Structure 1
């Protein structure tokens, strides 16, 4: 019969099990940190002043006042109020359709309420990514920061109706100023 070689087991050194568990916890913590760092970042919307009422929906025209900045504080864009000859028909601010803006801007607007003021951080992948508009001061793969106020919003059909009202009022004023011939009186 063959004899089995016996290997004597050495006792575990004092503190080795603790070191093993600490090492394992360190590896798990490092892996979790790397996973968090590599995870895509979302749009951050910080409320500065609360708004009221419902949120805009896709298909609405929003009227916003905003300042767009790069992470270093450089202003790359700023809204401008429309100079309309007839006041009160359209709200102040820059009108925009939700489908006509960058994905991060749209995502942020859908979370806002009328009258609210917000600071919005948009990661590069939800902004312009590697292809910013040509001639723009925005570098490729740049995150964007906006200070925004949602002045108002309305369905696109309502906004178009109001624009038509302004056009009709303007054409009526032009006809009145055009010096239409007065009928002769005897």
Structure 2
């Protein structure tokens, strides 16, 4: 089987990929993640997934490189990581009773022939009506300061939601596994067959 490299040092992406029970390595891509002028959120995450995979591929000839990126979008605005409790509270109050869309890109790059497939997977989060007290208590308890959207859906953040809508719950955390298994199969790697 061709070597697999996850072009990310995200603990969350690593944990998601480990669900497939495949051998892989992690490598950190070093690229500028700033949006380009007039770039849509979809174009941004697609470009960054490809860029991360290509950057990591430089150190891994004859490998399949997984690149991924994610942005949260609310009312057309790309949301960054809050960084502080105050910013996290502001973000979550802004979302109260509204929808936030997470766009997660996935690129599977073959460094042998420089070919790749890329997708952008949307996932919609519908927030409950939230009070300042609820949001403040949540932020203090979970400290989601390095999370786009100011929450951790795999933890207490689930209490903030009315409902979730999307094809793959792993997309919300940062890596669309259903689509990844299909892309791997297209490259001759049947994840289930590898378990034997």
Q: Give the TM-score of the pair, scaled to structure 1.
A: 0.25
Instruction: Pick 1 or 2: higher relative contact order, CA cutoff 8 A, min separation 6.
Output: 1
Q: Which has the larger radius of gyration?
A: 1
Q: Give the TM-score of the pair, scaled to structure 2.
A: 0.24
